[in-house]
Amino acid sequence: MKNSGTGKNMNDTLHSRFQKCVDQYRDKTALMYKIMGRYQTITWREFGESVCRFALGLSTIGVKKRDRVALLSENRPGWPISDLAILSEGAVTVPIYPTSTPKQIAYILNNSESKVVIVSTGEQLQKLKAVFDDLSYLEKIVVMDRLEDTGVMQFENLLEKGKELFLAQPGLYDEHTQRTGPMDTATIIYTSGTTGEPKGVMLTHENIIFNCDAADCVVPVSDEDTCLSFLPLSHVFERTVGQFFMIFHGITIAYAEGIDKVADNMEEVRPTLMISVPRLFEKMYARVLEKVHQGPKIRRKIFFWGIHVGKRLAPYRLQGDRGPSLLRLRYAVADHLVFKKIKERLGGRLRYFVSGGAPLSKEIAEFFYAAGVTIVEGYGLTESSPVISANRYDQIKFGSIGKPLPGVEVRIAEDGEILTRSPSVMKGYFKNEEATREAVDADGWLHTGDVGMMDEEGFITITDRKKDIIITSGGKNVAPQNIENLLISDKYISQVMVYGDGRKYLTGLVAPDFNILSEYWGARGVAFNTHQEMIHDLRIYDFLLDRIQEKMKDMAGFEQLKKIALLDHELSQENGELTPTMKLRRKIITRKYFDLLDSLYEKEF
């Protein structure tokens, strides 16, 4: 379903590029991981040896070209070692989110017809065992951690078998790696299923390589950079940009211990680059403001003065201009008094964040840029490997998703849908030709399902998901994401879902930031024992609704929230309310909280 050019290097595969880096960087640090309280390192030579041995180990249990091998693991060195070993054998990697339920795991294993699954821990193994009788194609289970379980194969044992095979037949690994070409399927990645059953997106070696090469223009990188990896590698954004892009440039990848440890790991690793989703920046923004408001009045005044100075200088910086000398002097003072502390919390060396996976609030992006922390926002889909467009480090327009990458075509359809065509557009959906035809038309254009516009400079702005557009009973079309992104920039609000399809007016489901809210009311002599008590207090309701309506005062009347419902907890991935990249699963949330949302509308008889 995608364009195929001529004159391709038929040996240009993901694993061949990896091997070139192994040969080039040898004793430089490739990977870092935390164990026993300290970060350990793996050199490129060690990385390459492990991939070679594990690939040959897989061949001893019957893995061959085009076989599907599933990978169910948290981010750790075993992930890229397994991934690259699978690819080196000409097989296809099927990543599964480590947060997946047994039922979700069973669906992916059966739909992909995976014959082998590699799991990280005993906990992941237990999920498999819960559905083992329902798995139609699975033949072997490999476990990374050492477990006393005779029914599975040990990762270390396969490495040893591979080493023995390599010593017996030194040329066999190279022979196996030559079996694959750029047009072969490298991976089947299952979409997060916000609109029904997950579909398996088939991406070729060429798809991912083209995307990595095209992304070179986004931020300048070198083999001196270090990237802290914390987004799940099972997601295409982290896999392409956080793994393969980094590998192709000889960049050291350090694995965070988990989302709750990212802040600590940033100070330990001191990364220069990070790939993230907007939720991290929203939480960072809220925590910075919380800390500021806890400080004395003079410190608050200095902080907001510094941000004001940073925002005044921002237009000059965006144009590559140093700005007026007096303003530069003030910024230097602000940097010393205010911004330096923020940057130190990020490790002190961070040059760029790259944001994707969901829309980033314009207000939050501007705030961090003013503080000297550059967030480069991009956009893409699993079906496009994933990056379609991105702001560049030297061409940023806040609120936009940047310009198309080189070699990527983008056009806006008559109904506003964003269409794209490039060599990074997927091969198709696995065993689902009908869905493939719906997504990619006869001319090779991928229909993204997102609605947006492109300005005269080529910057693209997304207004919403086509399927998420709310149509009120009065026939007004409303893009909920725009409203939600505006409202979550309020420090007292953690999450919002706008509701109102087929209704007279819009309402919202709101999860407050209870820490900041408690601090505000505590300073006024009002204490609450529980979140439940807080959300049922009329003062809290009025306070939040007033702030929401103040934020929305410049919006059209039909776009404004008339009422809100408060939750005593955050929406979560564990409860099925968010995707792994923290997008709202609107249908599930609406179904779960329908009675609460419905109560916000007056009954008509």
CB within 8 A of 174, min separation 6: which ones?
Answer: none
Q: Does the pLDDT of residue 477 top 90, yes or no? A: no
**Placement of tokens 């897989």 in the chain:** 58
Model confidence at 193, pLDDT cuts 50, 70, 90, reads low
Provide the mean pLDDT of the chain: 93
Give pLDDT, residue 342.
95
Give pLDDT, residue 1.
41
Give me the residue spans of the domains in the chain: 14-181, 278-348+351-465, 469-598
Residue 227, helix vs strand vs coil: strand
Indicate the CATH number of 14-181 among 2.60.40.10, 1.10.390.10, 3.40.50.720, 3.40.50.12780: 3.40.50.12780
Is-contact 162 55, C-beta < 8 A? yes
Model confidence at 149, pLDDT cuts 50, 70, 90, reads confident
pLDDT in tens, 447-462: 999 999 999 999 999 9
For the chain, percent of residues with pLDDT exceeding 90 = 85
User: How far apart (Å, rounded) are the C-alpha atoms in residues 560 and 212?
Assistant: 41
Q: What is the mean pLDDT of residues 290-300?
A: 91
CB within 8 A of 532, min separation 6: which ones?
Answer: 568
pLDDT in tens, 557-578: 889 999 999 999 999 988 989 9
pLDDT in tens, 488-540: 999 999 999 999 988 989 999 999 999 999 999 999 999 999 999 999 999 99
Q: What is the mean pLDDT of residues 53-63?
A: 98
For the chain, percent of residues with pLDDT exceeding 70 = 97
Give pLDDT, residue 18.
98
Q: What is the mean pLDDT of residues 471-493?
A: 89
CB within 8 A of 452, min separation 6: which ones?
Answer: 401, 412, 416, 418, 460, 461, 462, 463
Q: Does the pLDDT of residue 239 top 70, yes or no? A: yes
Model confidence at 468, pLDDT cuts 50, 70, 90, reads confident
Give pLDDT, residue 471.
83
Query: Superfamily for 278-348+351-465?
Result: ANL, N-terminal domain (3.40.50.12780)
Give pLDDT, residue 581.
79
Q: Does the pLDDT of residue 605 top 50, yes or no? A: no
Model confidence at 144, pLDDT cuts 50, 70, 90, reads very high
Beta bridge partners of residue 409, listed in sequence order: 421
Model confidence at 603, pLDDT cuts 50, 70, 90, reads low
Model confidence at 582, pLDDT cuts 50, 70, 90, reads confident
Give pLDDT, residue 473.
82
CATH 3.30.300.30 fits 469-598, yes or no: yes
Q: What is the mean pLDDT of residues 220-245?
A: 96
Is-contact 193 541, C-beta < 8 A? no
Give pLDDT, residue 11.
85
| Most confident of the following: 188-197, 313-322, 479-488 | 313-322
Give pLDDT, residue 70.
98
Q: What is the mean pLDDT of residues 200-229?
A: 97
Give pLDDT, residue 583.
87
Q: What is the mean pLDDT of residues 393-420?
A: 96
User: How far apart (Å, rounded) are the C-alpha atoms in residues 291 and 281?
Assistant: 15
Q: Does the pLDDT of residue 313 top 70, yes or no? A: yes
Question: Do 14-181 and 278-348+351-465 fold alike per CATH?
Answer: yes
Q: Does the pLDDT of residue 246 top 50, yes or no? A: yes
DSSP code per residue over 519-583: HHHHTTT---SSHHHHHT-HHHHHHHHHHHHHHTTTS-GGGSEEEEEE-SS---TTTTSB-TT--
Q: What is the mean pLDDT of residues 37-54?
A: 98
User: How far apart (Å, rounded) are the C-alpha atoms in residues 54 and 70?
Assistant: 15
pLDDT in tens, 322-350: 999 999 999 999 999 999 999 999 999 99
Give pLDDT, residue 188.
98
Give pLDDT, residue 7.
46
Of 243, 239, 229, the closest CA to residue 271 belongs to 229
Of the listed ranges 36-45, 134-143, 325-334, 583-592, the one predicted with least confidence? 583-592
Q: What is the mean pLDDT of residues 114-137?
A: 96
Give pLDDT, residue 151.
85
Q: Does the pLDDT of residue 6 top 70, yes or no? A: no
